[in-house]
Every structure is written in structure tokens, then in C-alpha cells.
Amino acid sequence: RKEVEQDPGPFNVPEGATVAFNCTYSNSASQSFFWYRQDCRKEPKLLMSVYSSGNEDGRFTAQLNRASQYISLLIRDSKLSDSATYLCVVNEGGGSQGNLIFGKGTKLSVKP
């Protein structure tokens, strides 16, 4: 069964903290990797794609380790507005490569 595993949290951190989320995926045929963000009672929105070389977008850094089938997201200098659920997502690969497999999400709560 193709799965994406994440620590559900919640992660409760103070403003300004650095927080890291990890996930593992089971499907070695996956070629595309993402982090999505979902606010309470809202739809998931693409936060960033994850590339093999690692990539950074402002306070957010994503890393991919294909050999270990492991993806990470680092958030520096946390803001109150970062409070959300973060979904680790990989594509299914093979004949259904347009399909995405979603982790159940890690909940982040940033406190003043």
C-alpha cells in the first residue's frame, strides 16, 4: 500500500521558534514531492514543491532524501500566522502519476 507517514503533532511552539516536520513515503516510484498547508476548515494550498537538491522559500526550507524516502520541512522564526496543518504529499508514480498521496498532516500551533 502506498503511504505517506507524518507525526500528527500537535507541535506547540512560541513565536520565533524553529520547528521541523518530517515525513516518510513508501512508494519508490514517486517523482514529485510537496508540502501543502491547510488552515482550519479551509482547502489545502500548495506551500512549496520539494526538490532533490533542497530548496528554500523565505523562512521555509524543504529537503528530500530519496535513498531514505524521507522529506522534511523547516520553518524558521515562526509567526502566529504559520499556525495550520502541514501536509506532506508525493505523487503516485507509474500509470497514475498524476495522482497524489497525502499524509494525514502535522498540526502546528504557534503561540505568542
Residues 85 to 104 in contact with another protein, rule: CB under 8 A: 87, 91, 96-100, 102-104
34, 61, 63, 78: which one contacts another protein (CB under 8 A)?
34
Beta carbon nearer to another protein, 44 or 84: 44
Q: How far is the CB of 11 from another protein (least distance, A)?
A: 17
Backbone dihedral region for residue 81 (phi beyond 0: left; psi -120 to 50: alpha; all else: beta): alpha
16, 26, 42, 54: which one contacts another protein (CB under 8 A)?
42
Half-sphere exposure of 87 (CA within 13 A, CB side): 18
Instruction: Decide: is 81 part of the binding site for another protein (CB under 8 A).
Output: no
**Beta carbons within 8 Å of 88's beta carbon, 6+ residues apart:** 4, 6, 21, 23, 25, 34, 35, 71, 73, 102, 103, 105, 106
Instruction: Decide: is 24 part of the binding site for another protein (CB under 8 A).
Output: no
Select from 20-28, 45-53, 57-65, 70-78 the region that touches another protein (CB under 8 A): 45-53
Contacting residues toward another protein, per CB under 8 A: 32, 34, 42-46, 49, 87, 91, 96-100, 102-105
